[in-house]
Amino acid sequence: MNRPEVALFLKSFFADLKKAGTDLREAAPLLKSFNELILSLKRDLPLSIPLLKELANFKNNSEGIVFHRLERRYYRLCRLQNELSRLDLKKAAPGVSSGTANLEDFVFSQIDFSRYRAIEEKDFKMIFPDGLTDFDEAFFKNNFRLGREEVQNLIKESYEKAEGLHKLKQENPVILSIMRSLETSLEDSPLFTSGEITGELKNLLDFCHAAMPNNTELLYPLLVYGLDDTQISHSDGMTTRLFIPAQGDLSGTFQPAGKPWTRVLIPAALITARPTR
Question: At residue 25, does pLDDT exceed 90?
Answer: no
Q: Is the pLDDT reported for residue 91 higher than 70?
A: no
Cβ burial of 215 (10 Å; 0-12, 13-18, 19+) is exposed
In terms of DSSP H, where are the helices of 41-172?
Answer: 50-56, 65-86, 103-109, 121-127, 137-144, 148-158
Q: Residue 2 pLDDT more than 70?
A: yes
Peptide bond just before 129 cis, omega within 30 deg: yes
**What number is the average pLDDT over the span 42-61?**
89
131-181 pLDDT, tens digit each: 999 999 999 999 999 999 999 999 999 999 998 899 999 999 999 999 999
- Residue 112 predicted with pLDDT over 90: no
Q: Which residue has the higher pLDDT, 89 or 210?
A: 210
What does the pLDDT average to over 190-197? Answer: 96
Q: Please, which pLDDT band fits residue 97 given cuts at 50, 70 and 90?
A: low
85 vs 134, higher pLDDT: 134
Is the Cβ–Cβ distance between 49 and 38 less than 8 Å?
Answer: yes
Residue 100: the pLDDT is 46
Mean pLDDT along residues 208-216: 87
Q: How far apart are CA 277 and CA 271, in angstroms?
A: 15
Task: Determine how many CB atoms are found less than 10 A away from the CB of residue 13.
Answer: 17
Residue 276 banded pLDDT, cuts 50, 70, 90: very low
- Facing residues of 266 across strands? 250
The dihedral through the CA atoms of 75, 80, 84, 86 has a sign that is positive
**pLDDT value of residue 93:** 55
What is the reported pLDDT for 196?
96
**Percent share of the chain, pLDDT over 70:** 90
Question: So what's the pLDDT on residue 101?
Answer: 46
- Please, are residues 27 and 17 in contact by the beta-carbon 8 Å criterion? yes
In a 3-state reduction of DSSP, which class is residue 212?
coil
**Three-state secondary structure call for residue 160:** strand
What's the average model confidence in pLDDT over 68-93? 83
Q: Confidence band (pLDDT; 50, 70, 90) for 96?
A: low
In our burial notation (b when 16+ CB lie closer than 10 A, e otherwise), range 145-171 reads eeebeebbebbeebbeeeeebbebeee
pLDDT tens digits for range 241-262: 999 999 999 999 999 999 999 9
Mean pLDDT of the residues in the chain: 88
What's the rounded Cα separation, in Å, for the pair 202 and 205? 5
Angle at 255 between CA 76 and CA 85, to 5 degrees: 65
Query: Average pLDDT of 60-75?
Result: 91
**CA torsion, points 30, 35, 37, 43, in degrees to nearest 10?**
170
The answer to whether residue 229 scores a pLDDT higher than 60 is: yes
Q: Where do the DSSP E strands lie in the chain?
A: 118-120, 159-162, 165-168, 230-233, 239-243, 250-254, 261-266
Look at residue 236 in the predicted model and tell me its pLDDT: 92
The pLDDT value given to residue 61: 73
CA angle at residue 260 from 240 to 64, to 5 degrees?
Answer: 20
